[in-house]
Structure 1
Amino acid sequence: MSGKFSNQVAVVTGASTGIGFAIAQALLVEGAKRVYITGRSAGTLEAAVAKLGDKAVAVLSDVSSQVDLDKLKATIEARHDQLDAVFANAGICEKNPLGETTEATYYNVFDVNVKGVFFTVQTLLPLMKDGSSVVLTASICSSNGMEGLSLYNASKAAVRSFARTWANELKGRKIRANVLSPGFTRTPLMDNGLKMSAGEIEALRQHVEQITPLGYMAQPEEIATAALFLASADAKYVNGVELMVDGGLSQI
Protein backbone atom coordinates (compact mmCIF):
# COMPACT_ATOMS: atom_id res chain seq x y z
CA MET A 1 0.00 0.00 0.00
CA SER A 2 1.34 3.41 -1.01
CA GLY A 3 -1.45 5.56 0.39
CA LYS A 4 -1.93 7.40 -2.91
CA PHE A 5 -5.57 8.02 -2.04
CA SER A 6 -5.01 8.83 1.62
CA ASN A 7 -7.95 10.81 3.08
CA GLN A 8 -9.62 11.04 -0.31
CA VAL A 9 -13.32 10.51 -1.01
CA ALA A 10 -14.58 8.78 -4.12
CA VAL A 11 -17.74 7.49 -5.77
CA VAL A 12 -17.79 4.25 -7.75
CA THR A 13 -21.03 3.43 -9.54
CA GLY A 14 -21.89 -0.15 -10.34
CA ALA A 15 -19.58 -1.36 -7.58
CA SER A 16 -21.46 -4.31 -6.13
CA THR A 17 -19.33 -6.77 -8.08
CA GLY A 18 -16.77 -7.02 -10.85
CA ILE A 19 -14.58 -4.12 -11.91
CA GLY A 20 -16.45 -1.55 -9.82
CA PHE A 21 -16.03 -3.57 -6.66
CA ALA A 22 -12.34 -4.09 -7.42
CA ILE A 23 -11.90 -0.31 -7.88
CA ALA A 24 -13.60 0.42 -4.56
CA GLN A 25 -11.51 -2.20 -2.79
CA ALA A 26 -8.27 -0.86 -4.26
CA LEU A 27 -9.15 2.71 -3.26
CA LEU A 28 -9.62 1.64 0.34
CA VAL A 29 -6.38 -0.32 0.33
CA GLU A 30 -4.69 2.86 -0.91
CA GLY A 31 -5.96 4.86 2.06
CA ALA A 32 -9.25 6.38 0.89
CA LYS A 33 -11.21 8.05 3.68
CA ARG A 34 -14.56 7.02 2.25
CA VAL A 35 -15.85 5.32 -0.89
CA TYR A 36 -19.49 5.55 -1.93
CA ILE A 37 -20.58 2.53 -3.95
CA THR A 38 -23.80 2.16 -5.89
CA GLY A 39 -25.76 -0.70 -7.36
CA ARG A 40 -29.30 -1.75 -8.18
CA SER A 41 -29.49 -4.82 -5.91
CA ALA A 42 -29.75 -4.23 -2.16
CA GLY A 43 -28.55 -7.72 -1.33
CA THR A 44 -25.47 -7.55 -3.53
CA LEU A 45 -24.63 -4.07 -2.23
CA GLU A 46 -24.86 -5.23 1.38
CA ALA A 47 -22.57 -8.16 0.62
CA ALA A 48 -20.07 -5.79 -1.01
CA VAL A 49 -20.01 -3.43 1.98
CA ALA A 50 -19.56 -6.39 4.33
CA LYS A 51 -16.36 -7.21 2.43
CA LEU A 52 -15.16 -3.61 2.04
CA GLY A 53 -15.65 -2.47 5.63
CA ASP A 54 -16.99 0.60 7.36
CA LYS A 55 -15.27 3.11 5.07
CA ALA A 56 -17.56 2.00 2.26
CA VAL A 57 -21.03 3.55 2.02
CA ALA A 58 -23.63 1.69 -0.01
CA VAL A 59 -26.26 3.70 -1.87
CA LEU A 60 -29.00 1.79 -3.66
CA SER A 61 -29.10 3.61 -6.97
CA ASP A 62 -29.97 3.10 -10.63
CA VAL A 63 -27.80 5.48 -12.66
CA SER A 64 -30.52 5.77 -15.30
CA SER A 65 -32.77 7.44 -12.70
CA GLN A 66 -32.21 11.11 -11.93
CA VAL A 67 -34.16 10.68 -8.69
CA ASP A 68 -31.69 8.00 -7.58
CA LEU A 69 -28.72 10.14 -8.57
CA ASP A 70 -30.13 13.04 -6.56
CA LYS A 71 -30.40 10.70 -3.55
CA LEU A 72 -26.75 9.72 -4.04
CA LYS A 73 -25.76 13.38 -4.07
CA ALA A 74 -27.83 14.07 -0.95
CA THR A 75 -26.19 11.15 0.86
CA ILE A 76 -22.74 12.57 0.14
CA GLU A 77 -23.80 16.08 1.13
CA ALA A 78 -25.23 14.80 4.42
CA ARG A 79 -21.71 13.68 5.37
CA HIS A 80 -20.26 17.02 4.23
CA ASP A 81 -17.95 15.22 1.82
CA GLN A 82 -16.34 16.63 -1.29
CA LEU A 83 -15.17 14.30 -4.01
CA ASP A 84 -11.64 13.67 -5.19
CA ALA A 85 -12.68 11.14 -7.82
CA VAL A 86 -15.79 9.89 -9.58
CA PHE A 87 -15.63 6.51 -11.29
CA ALA A 88 -18.67 6.32 -13.61
CA ASN A 89 -18.42 2.59 -13.98
CA ALA A 90 -22.01 1.28 -14.01
CA GLY A 91 -22.99 -0.34 -17.28
CA ILE A 92 -24.84 -3.25 -18.83
CA CYS A 93 -24.24 -5.50 -21.80
CA GLU A 94 -26.96 -7.31 -23.70
CA LYS A 95 -26.80 -9.16 -26.98
CA ASN A 96 -28.84 -7.48 -29.72
CA PRO A 97 -28.57 -9.09 -33.15
CA LEU A 98 -29.53 -6.66 -35.91
CA GLY A 99 -33.03 -7.52 -37.08
CA GLU A 100 -34.05 -8.94 -33.70
CA THR A 101 -33.54 -5.94 -31.41
CA THR A 102 -36.50 -4.40 -29.60
CA GLU A 103 -36.96 -0.73 -28.84
CA ALA A 104 -37.01 -1.61 -25.13
CA THR A 105 -33.55 -3.16 -25.40
CA TYR A 106 -32.25 -0.05 -27.14
CA TYR A 107 -33.51 2.25 -24.40
CA ASN A 108 -32.31 -0.05 -21.64
CA VAL A 109 -28.72 -0.11 -22.91
CA PHE A 110 -28.52 3.59 -23.71
CA ASP A 111 -30.31 4.70 -20.55
CA VAL A 112 -27.75 2.96 -18.35
CA ASN A 113 -24.56 3.19 -20.42
CA VAL A 114 -24.93 6.69 -21.88
CA LYS A 115 -27.59 8.65 -20.01
CA GLY A 116 -26.41 7.10 -16.73
CA VAL A 117 -22.80 8.14 -17.25
CA PHE A 118 -23.70 11.65 -18.35
CA PHE A 119 -26.05 12.40 -15.47
CA THR A 120 -23.85 10.70 -12.87
CA VAL A 121 -21.07 13.16 -13.68
CA GLN A 122 -23.38 16.15 -14.09
CA THR A 123 -25.15 15.46 -10.79
CA LEU A 124 -21.97 14.99 -8.77
CA LEU A 125 -19.98 17.77 -10.43
CA PRO A 126 -20.91 20.41 -7.80
CA LEU A 127 -19.42 18.15 -5.13
CA MET A 128 -16.14 17.58 -6.97
CA LYS A 129 -13.03 19.43 -5.84
CA ASP A 130 -11.09 21.55 -8.28
CA GLY A 131 -8.27 19.36 -9.59
CA SER A 132 -10.24 16.16 -9.04
CA SER A 133 -10.69 13.33 -11.53
CA VAL A 134 -13.41 11.61 -13.54
CA VAL A 135 -12.80 8.08 -14.81
CA LEU A 136 -15.36 6.63 -17.21
CA THR A 137 -15.54 2.89 -17.85
CA ALA A 138 -15.99 2.14 -21.54
CA SER A 139 -14.68 -0.94 -23.37
CA ILE A 140 -12.42 -1.94 -26.22
CA CYS A 141 -15.79 -2.37 -27.97
CA SER A 142 -15.89 1.42 -28.24
CA SER A 143 -13.66 1.14 -31.29
CA ASN A 144 -14.52 -2.21 -32.82
CA GLY A 145 -17.57 -3.90 -34.29
CA MET A 146 -18.10 -6.98 -32.15
CA GLU A 147 -20.93 -8.93 -33.74
CA GLY A 148 -24.31 -8.94 -32.03
CA LEU A 149 -23.40 -6.08 -29.68
CA SER A 150 -24.06 -2.99 -31.78
CA LEU A 151 -25.92 -1.17 -28.98
CA TYR A 152 -23.23 -1.92 -26.41
CA ASN A 153 -20.46 -0.97 -28.83
CA ALA A 154 -22.12 2.32 -29.75
CA SER A 155 -22.93 3.18 -26.14
CA LYS A 156 -19.30 2.76 -25.14
CA ALA A 157 -18.20 4.91 -28.09
CA ALA A 158 -20.44 7.64 -26.67
CA VAL A 159 -18.76 7.28 -23.28
CA ARG A 160 -15.37 7.68 -24.91
CA SER A 161 -16.63 10.84 -26.63
CA PHE A 162 -17.80 12.34 -23.33
CA ALA A 163 -14.24 12.34 -21.98
CA ARG A 164 -12.92 14.26 -24.97
CA THR A 165 -15.45 17.04 -24.47
CA TRP A 166 -15.30 17.11 -20.69
CA ALA A 167 -11.51 17.32 -20.67
CA ASN A 168 -11.97 20.60 -22.50
CA GLU A 169 -15.15 21.73 -20.78
CA LEU A 170 -13.80 21.24 -17.24
CA LYS A 171 -10.42 22.84 -17.88
CA GLY A 172 -11.33 25.89 -15.82
CA ARG A 173 -11.54 23.72 -12.72
CA LYS A 174 -8.58 21.50 -13.67
CA ILE A 175 -10.80 18.42 -13.45
CA ARG A 176 -9.40 15.61 -15.57
CA ALA A 177 -11.67 13.23 -17.51
CA ASN A 178 -10.29 9.96 -18.83
CA VAL A 179 -11.63 6.67 -20.12
CA LEU A 180 -10.79 3.17 -18.97
CA SER A 181 -11.47 0.59 -21.69
CA PRO A 182 -11.10 -2.99 -20.47
CA GLY A 183 -10.66 -5.95 -22.73
CA PHE A 184 -12.04 -9.40 -21.97
CA THR A 185 -12.43 -9.56 -18.19
CA ARG A 186 -14.03 -12.30 -16.11
CA THR A 187 -16.89 -10.55 -14.35
CA PRO A 188 -20.53 -11.40 -13.49
CA LEU A 189 -21.50 -9.43 -16.61
CA MET A 190 -20.85 -12.61 -18.59
CA ASP A 191 -23.25 -14.61 -16.45
CA ASN A 192 -25.95 -12.03 -15.74
CA GLY A 193 -25.84 -9.67 -18.72
CA LEU A 194 -24.77 -11.84 -21.61
CA LYS A 195 -26.30 -14.92 -19.93
CA MET A 196 -23.42 -17.14 -20.97
CA SER A 197 -23.26 -20.72 -19.77
CA ALA A 198 -20.22 -22.14 -18.00
CA GLY A 199 -19.28 -23.92 -21.21
CA GLU A 200 -19.57 -20.75 -23.27
CA ILE A 201 -17.44 -18.82 -20.79
CA GLU A 202 -14.78 -21.50 -20.87
CA ALA A 203 -14.80 -21.51 -24.69
CA LEU A 204 -14.43 -17.71 -24.65
CA ARG A 205 -11.57 -17.98 -22.19
CA GLN A 206 -9.73 -20.35 -24.50
CA HIS A 207 -10.38 -18.06 -27.47
CA VAL A 208 -9.07 -15.04 -25.56
CA GLU A 209 -5.91 -16.96 -24.68
CA GLN A 210 -5.30 -17.45 -28.39
CA ILE A 211 -5.99 -13.92 -29.62
CA THR A 212 -4.54 -11.81 -26.78
CA PRO A 213 -0.77 -11.15 -26.76
CA LEU A 214 -0.55 -11.69 -23.00
CA GLY A 215 -2.40 -14.97 -23.42
CA TYR A 216 -5.13 -14.81 -20.79
CA MET A 217 -8.41 -13.19 -19.73
CA ALA A 218 -8.09 -10.39 -17.18
CA GLN A 219 -9.35 -10.38 -13.62
CA PRO A 220 -11.17 -7.28 -12.28
CA GLU A 221 -8.26 -6.39 -10.00
CA GLU A 222 -5.98 -5.94 -13.02
CA ILE A 223 -8.41 -3.44 -14.51
CA ALA A 224 -8.82 -1.62 -11.19
CA THR A 225 -5.12 -0.80 -10.94
CA ALA A 226 -5.34 1.05 -14.25
CA ALA A 227 -8.45 2.91 -13.09
CA LEU A 228 -6.64 4.07 -9.96
CA PHE A 229 -3.68 5.22 -12.03
CA LEU A 230 -5.95 7.46 -14.12
CA ALA A 231 -7.47 9.01 -11.00
CA SER A 232 -4.20 9.43 -9.12
CA ALA A 233 -1.61 12.19 -9.01
CA ASP A 234 0.64 9.89 -11.05
CA ALA A 235 -1.59 10.78 -14.01
CA LYS A 236 -1.91 14.48 -13.25
CA TYR A 237 -0.97 15.42 -16.86
CA VAL A 238 -3.12 12.69 -18.42
CA ASN A 239 -6.39 14.09 -19.70
CA GLY A 240 -8.99 13.08 -22.28
CA VAL A 241 -7.36 9.75 -23.09
CA GLU A 242 -8.72 6.26 -23.58
CA LEU A 243 -6.54 3.70 -21.80
CA MET A 244 -6.95 0.26 -23.34
CA VAL A 245 -6.40 -2.37 -20.65
CA ASP A 246 -6.71 -5.50 -22.75
CA GLY A 247 -3.44 -7.40 -22.74
CA GLY A 248 -2.52 -5.86 -26.10
CA LEU A 249 -5.53 -7.17 -28.02
CA SER A 250 -6.54 -3.84 -29.54
CA GLN A 251 -2.99 -3.13 -30.69
CA ILE A 252 -2.56 -6.08 -33.07
Structure 2
Amino acid sequence: MSSLKGKTAVITGGNSGIGLATAKLFAREGAEVVITGRRGQVVDDAVREIGAGAVGFPGDSADPAHHRALAGFVRERFGGADIYVANAGVITITASSDVTEAEYDQQFAINARGTFFGVQSMAPVLRDGGAIICVGSLASDKVLDGHPVYAGTKAAIGAFARSWALEFKDRGIRVNMLSPGPTDTAIVEKLGVPPEERAGFEAMMAGAIPLGRFARPEELAQAALFLASDAGSFVTGINLRVDGGMALL
Protein backbone atom coordinates (compact mmCIF):
# COMPACT_ATOMS: atom_id res chain seq x y z
CA MET A 1 0.00 0.00 0.00
CA SER A 2 1.27 3.52 -0.69
CA SER A 3 -1.38 6.09 0.25
CA LEU A 4 1.27 8.02 2.23
CA LYS A 5 4.21 7.46 -0.09
CA GLY A 6 6.57 10.44 -0.05
CA LYS A 7 5.06 11.80 3.18
CA THR A 8 6.75 12.38 6.52
CA ALA A 9 4.63 11.74 9.62
CA VAL A 10 5.44 12.75 13.19
CA ILE A 11 3.54 10.92 15.93
CA THR A 12 3.88 11.88 19.58
CA GLY A 13 3.47 9.00 21.99
CA GLY A 14 4.13 6.67 19.07
CA ASN A 15 5.85 4.09 21.23
CA SER A 16 2.71 2.32 22.48
CA GLY A 17 -1.02 1.82 22.09
CA ILE A 18 -2.88 3.83 19.48
CA GLY A 19 0.24 5.82 18.62
CA LEU A 20 2.27 2.70 17.88
CA ALA A 21 -0.51 1.13 15.81
CA THR A 22 -0.77 4.37 13.83
CA ALA A 23 2.99 4.54 13.30
CA LYS A 24 3.04 0.96 11.99
CA LEU A 25 0.16 1.59 9.60
CA PHE A 26 1.59 4.86 8.32
CA ALA A 27 4.94 3.17 7.70
CA ARG A 28 3.23 0.36 5.79
CA GLU A 29 1.47 3.01 3.72
CA GLY A 30 4.82 4.43 2.66
CA ALA A 31 5.39 7.30 5.10
CA GLU A 32 8.67 8.15 6.75
CA VAL A 33 7.74 8.00 10.43
CA VAL A 34 9.13 9.84 13.44
CA ILE A 35 7.85 8.85 16.87
CA THR A 36 8.33 10.38 20.29
CA GLY A 37 8.00 9.04 23.82
CA ARG A 38 9.35 9.73 27.28
CA ARG A 39 11.36 6.53 27.74
CA GLY A 40 14.27 6.14 25.37
CA GLN A 41 14.47 2.36 25.52
CA VAL A 42 10.75 1.96 24.86
CA VAL A 43 11.03 4.34 21.92
CA ASP A 44 13.97 2.35 20.54
CA ASP A 45 12.02 -0.90 20.88
CA ALA A 46 9.03 0.63 19.08
CA VAL A 47 11.25 1.90 16.25
CA ARG A 48 12.52 -1.64 15.68
CA GLU A 49 8.95 -2.94 15.73
CA ILE A 50 7.78 -0.34 13.20
CA GLY A 51 10.72 -0.90 10.87
CA ALA A 52 10.71 0.80 7.47
CA GLY A 53 13.37 3.29 8.57
CA ALA A 54 11.30 4.75 11.42
CA VAL A 55 13.09 7.24 13.67
CA GLY A 56 12.70 7.80 17.41
CA PHE A 57 13.07 11.14 19.19
CA PRO A 58 12.69 10.66 22.97
CA GLY A 59 11.45 13.52 25.11
CA ASP A 60 8.80 14.88 27.45
CA SER A 61 5.68 16.08 25.64
CA ALA A 62 4.90 18.43 28.52
CA ASP A 63 8.08 20.39 27.77
CA PRO A 64 7.82 23.00 24.98
CA ALA A 65 11.60 22.80 24.53
CA HIS A 66 11.18 19.16 23.47
CA HIS A 67 8.74 20.17 20.73
CA ARG A 68 11.03 22.92 19.49
CA ALA A 69 13.93 20.47 19.33
CA LEU A 70 11.75 17.91 17.54
CA ALA A 71 10.67 20.48 14.94
CA GLY A 72 14.30 21.42 14.35
CA PHE A 73 15.25 17.78 13.93
CA VAL A 74 12.43 17.13 11.47
CA ARG A 75 13.34 20.19 9.42
CA GLU A 76 17.01 19.20 9.27
CA ARG A 77 16.46 15.47 8.65
CA PHE A 78 13.44 15.52 6.34
CA GLY A 79 13.09 19.11 5.21
CA GLY A 80 9.69 19.30 6.90
CA ALA A 81 6.68 17.12 7.70
CA ASP A 82 3.33 16.43 6.09
CA ILE A 83 1.42 14.83 8.97
CA TYR A 84 1.49 15.60 12.68
CA VAL A 85 -0.38 13.36 15.11
CA ALA A 86 -0.61 14.85 18.61
CA ASN A 87 -1.27 11.60 20.41
CA ALA A 88 0.77 11.64 23.63
CA GLY A 89 -1.42 11.65 26.71
CA VAL A 90 -1.99 10.43 30.25
CA ILE A 91 -5.06 9.69 32.33
CA THR A 92 -5.76 9.46 36.04
CA ILE A 93 -9.27 8.40 37.01
CA THR A 94 -10.16 10.24 40.20
CA ALA A 95 -13.31 11.87 41.56
CA SER A 96 -13.10 15.66 41.69
CA SER A 97 -13.04 15.64 45.48
CA ASP A 98 -9.87 13.53 45.49
CA VAL A 99 -7.91 15.10 42.63
CA THR A 100 -4.51 16.30 43.76
CA GLU A 101 -2.72 19.31 42.34
CA ALA A 102 -0.06 16.99 40.96
CA GLU A 103 -2.64 14.86 39.11
CA TYR A 104 -4.32 17.94 37.68
CA ASP A 105 -1.06 19.55 36.58
CA GLN A 106 0.31 16.37 35.01
CA GLN A 107 -2.76 15.73 32.87
CA PHE A 108 -3.04 19.31 31.67
CA ALA A 109 0.71 19.56 31.09
CA ILE A 110 0.94 16.48 28.88
CA ASN A 111 -2.48 16.40 27.26
CA ALA A 112 -3.36 20.06 26.70
CA ARG A 113 -0.07 21.97 27.05
CA GLY A 114 1.80 19.27 25.14
CA THR A 115 -0.67 19.32 22.28
CA PHE A 116 -0.75 23.10 22.06
CA PHE A 117 2.98 23.70 22.06
CA GLY A 118 3.57 20.66 19.88
CA VAL A 119 1.39 22.15 17.15
CA GLN A 120 2.86 25.61 17.73
CA SER A 121 6.36 24.22 17.15
CA MET A 122 5.53 21.87 14.28
CA ALA A 123 3.26 24.19 12.27
CA PRO A 124 6.15 26.17 10.75
CA VAL A 125 7.79 22.97 9.46
CA LEU A 126 4.53 21.39 8.29
CA ARG A 127 4.22 21.58 4.53
CA ASP A 128 1.25 23.35 2.98
CA GLY A 129 -1.54 20.87 2.32
CA GLY A 130 -0.56 18.81 5.33
CA ALA A 131 -2.69 17.32 8.09
CA ILE A 132 -2.81 17.65 11.87
CA ILE A 133 -4.63 15.04 13.93
CA CYS A 134 -5.26 15.77 17.60
CA VAL A 135 -6.16 12.68 19.60
CA GLY A 136 -8.99 13.52 21.95
CA SER A 137 -11.39 11.26 23.81
CA LEU A 138 -15.02 10.26 24.10
CA ALA A 139 -14.75 11.79 27.60
CA SER A 140 -14.68 15.31 26.16
CA ASP A 141 -18.38 14.92 25.25
CA LYS A 142 -19.68 12.14 27.48
CA VAL A 143 -19.58 12.39 31.27
CA LEU A 144 -17.69 9.41 32.70
CA ASP A 145 -17.11 8.70 36.38
CA GLY A 146 -13.75 9.86 37.63
CA HIS A 147 -12.83 11.67 34.40
CA PRO A 148 -13.37 15.38 35.20
CA VAL A 149 -9.77 16.52 34.75
CA TYR A 150 -8.99 14.21 31.84
CA ALA A 151 -12.22 15.33 30.13
CA GLY A 152 -11.20 18.94 30.62
CA THR A 153 -7.87 18.36 28.93
CA LYS A 154 -9.49 16.66 25.97
CA ALA A 155 -12.17 19.35 25.67
CA ALA A 156 -9.36 21.88 25.48
CA ILE A 157 -7.77 19.90 22.65
CA GLY A 158 -11.07 19.99 20.78
CA ALA A 159 -11.19 23.78 21.12
CA PHE A 160 -7.60 24.03 19.89
CA ALA A 161 -8.36 21.85 16.87
CA ARG A 162 -11.37 23.89 15.80
CA SER A 163 -9.36 27.10 16.06
CA TRP A 164 -6.44 25.66 14.13
CA ALA A 165 -8.72 24.38 11.35
CA LEU A 166 -9.46 28.02 10.56
CA GLU A 167 -6.06 29.43 11.47
CA PHE A 168 -4.26 27.15 8.99
CA LYS A 169 -6.89 27.12 6.24
CA ASP A 170 -4.94 29.47 3.96
CA ARG A 171 -2.09 26.95 3.93
CA GLY A 172 -4.43 24.10 3.06
CA ILE A 173 -3.58 22.33 6.33
CA ARG A 174 -6.45 20.22 7.60
CA VAL A 175 -6.91 19.88 11.37
CA ASN A 176 -9.16 17.25 12.91
CA MET A 177 -9.75 15.61 16.26
CA LEU A 178 -9.86 11.81 16.61
CA SER A 179 -11.76 10.71 19.71
CA PRO A 180 -11.37 7.07 20.79
CA GLY A 181 -13.72 5.25 23.07
CA PRO A 182 -12.48 2.38 25.26
CA THR A 183 -9.56 0.80 23.42
CA ASP A 184 -7.66 -2.41 24.12
CA THR A 185 -4.27 -0.99 25.07
CA ALA A 186 -1.92 -1.12 28.04
CA ILE A 187 -3.88 1.75 29.55
CA VAL A 188 -6.26 -0.80 31.10
CA GLU A 189 -3.43 -2.04 33.31
CA LYS A 190 -2.37 1.54 34.03
CA LEU A 191 -5.86 2.22 35.35
CA GLY A 192 -5.15 -0.35 38.05
CA VAL A 193 -7.21 -3.24 36.67
CA PRO A 194 -5.36 -6.43 37.69
CA PRO A 195 -4.98 -9.17 35.05
CA GLU A 196 -7.35 -11.52 36.84
CA GLU A 197 -10.12 -8.88 36.72
CA ARG A 198 -9.57 -7.74 33.15
CA ALA A 199 -12.18 -10.05 31.59
CA GLY A 200 -14.84 -8.85 34.00
CA PHE A 201 -13.86 -5.21 33.46
CA GLU A 202 -14.04 -5.60 29.70
CA ALA A 203 -17.43 -7.32 29.92
CA MET A 204 -18.78 -4.51 32.09
CA MET A 205 -17.49 -1.85 29.68
CA ALA A 206 -18.76 -3.76 26.65
CA GLY A 207 -22.27 -3.49 28.07
CA ALA A 208 -22.01 0.30 27.69
CA ILE A 209 -20.83 0.13 24.06
CA PRO A 210 -23.42 -0.51 21.34
CA LEU A 211 -20.94 -2.57 19.31
CA GLY A 212 -20.33 -4.68 22.41
CA ARG A 213 -16.52 -4.60 22.68
CA PHE A 214 -13.43 -2.47 23.08
CA ALA A 215 -11.84 -0.94 20.00
CA ARG A 216 -8.62 -2.38 18.69
CA PRO A 217 -5.73 0.09 18.36
CA GLU A 218 -5.56 -0.81 14.68
CA GLU A 219 -9.11 0.48 14.20
CA LEU A 220 -8.10 3.88 15.55
CA ALA A 221 -5.06 3.78 13.29
CA GLN A 222 -7.29 3.23 10.25
CA ALA A 223 -9.36 6.26 11.24
CA ALA A 224 -6.17 8.31 11.61
CA LEU A 225 -5.08 7.16 8.15
CA PHE A 226 -8.35 8.42 6.69
CA LEU A 227 -7.81 11.84 8.26
CA ALA A 228 -4.15 11.97 7.22
CA SER A 229 -4.47 10.75 3.64
CA ASP A 230 -6.12 12.01 0.48
CA ALA A 231 -9.17 9.94 1.43
CA GLY A 232 -9.99 12.72 3.89
CA SER A 233 -8.90 15.58 1.64
CA PHE A 234 -12.14 17.57 2.15
CA VAL A 235 -12.43 16.95 5.89
CA THR A 236 -11.34 19.55 8.41
CA GLY A 237 -12.51 20.82 11.79
CA ILE A 238 -14.36 17.63 12.76
CA ASN A 239 -14.34 15.43 15.84
CA LEU A 240 -14.29 11.88 14.51
CA ARG A 241 -15.56 9.59 17.27
CA VAL A 242 -14.33 6.02 17.01
CA ASP A 243 -16.17 4.75 20.07
CA GLY A 244 -18.45 1.91 18.95
CA GLY A 245 -21.43 4.20 19.46
CA MET A 246 -20.75 4.75 23.16
CA ALA A 247 -21.45 8.49 22.91
CA LEU A 248 -25.05 7.65 22.02
CA LEU A 249 -25.86 6.07 25.37
TM-score normalised per structure 1? 0.95
What is the distance in 1 between the residues matched to 2:100 and 2:244? 34
Moved more, 13-22 or 52-61: 52-61
**Unaligned ranges ≥5, structure 1:** none
Q: Is the 8 A contact 1:42 1:60 kept in 2?
A: yes
Q: Quick one: which amino acid aligns to residue 241 of structure 1? A: I
Query: In 1, are the aligned partners of 2:176 and 2:227 still within 8 Å (CA)?
Result: yes
1:97-147 Cα shifts (integer Å, max 9, x gaps): 222111111110000000000000110111101110000000100101111
Confirm whether residue 215 of structure 1 aligns to residue 236 of structure 2: no
Paired AA for residue 66 in structure 2: D
Say whether 1:195 aligns with 2:209.
no
Amino acid at match of 1:111: A
Residue matched to 2:21 = 22
- Please give the secondary structure, in 2, of the residue aligned with 1:135: strand
Q: Please name the residue that 1:159 is paired with.
A: 157
Q: 1:240 aligns with which of 237, 242, 247?
A: 237
Whether 1:129 and 2:127 are equivalent positions in the alignment is yes
Please give the per-residue CA displacement for 1:166-208, whole angstroms capped at 9, x wherever unaligned.
111111111110000001101112223x232124432221023
Q: What is the TM-score of this pair, normalised by structure 2?
A: 0.96
Give the length in aligned residue pairs: 249
Match of 1:55 in 2: 53
Partner deviation per Cα, 1:22-59 (whole Å, 9 max, x = no partner)? 00000011111x11100001111111011111521000
Alpha-carbon distance in structure 2 between the residues aligned to 1:209 and 1:53: 34
The residue type equivalent to 1:137 in the other structure is V
Distance 2:89 2:119 in 1: 14
**1:40-83 deviation line (CA, Å, top 9, x unaligned):** 01111111011111521000011111121122112212214211
Residues 8 and 78, structure 2, Cα contact 8 Å, conserved in 1: no
Structure 1 residue 211, shift from structure 2 partner? 2.3
SS in 2 for 1:211: coil
- Which residue of the other structure, out of 66, 78, 83, is the alignment partner of 1:68? 66
Could you say which residue in structure 2 is the equivalent of 1:110?
108
**Secondary structure of the corresponding residue to residue 35 of structure 1:** strand
1:9·1:81 contact (CA, 8 Å) conserved in 2? no
Instruction: Work out whether residues 15 and 90 of structure 1, in 8 Å CA contact, stay in contact via their aligned partners in 2.
Output: yes
Match of 2:181 among 177, 180, 183: 183
In structure 1, what is the Cα distance between the partners aligned to 2:150 and 2:81? 29
User: For residue 11 of structure 1, what is the aligned residue in structure 2?
Assistant: 10
Equivalent residue number for residue 93 of structure 2: 95
